[in-house]
Amino acid sequence: MEWLFDPAVLARGEVDLERVVALGRLLVEQDGGASERNQQGLHCLAHERDVLVPQEYGVFAFQPWVREQLGDEGSSAPPAPPRGAARER
């Protein structure tokens, strides 16, 4: 993690770097936990396929790219849904 401070702010000595780092670590830990719980929920059959929101289109395209880079081109990836369309269950 990288923190960027204006040099003038650091020169005043008003930044408690230990607190900044502690907050950063806490946020990373909490975000990681939330992401893990979200991923676990994705394995639920009720949420196997559904409508994608526009923010998810990039993720959907990224997954086949990763499989291709890993040499797993034969995996059974579902076809990309049309934008804004629900996928069949």
Q: Check if the beta carbon of residue 51 is closer than 8 Å to that of residue 87.
A: yes
CA 44 from centre of chain: 19
Provide the pLDDT for residue 12.
Answer: 93
Q: Which of 54, 42, 40, 44 is nearest to 85 (CA)?
A: 54
Provide the pLDDT for residue 11.
Answer: 93
Provide the pLDDT for residue 33.
Answer: 85
Q: Which of 23, 59, 15 is nearest to 1 (CA)?
A: 23
| pLDDT tens-digit map of 27-55 | 999 998 888 887 776 666 665 666 677 77
| pLDDT tens-digit map of 70-89 | 887 655 555 555 555 444 44
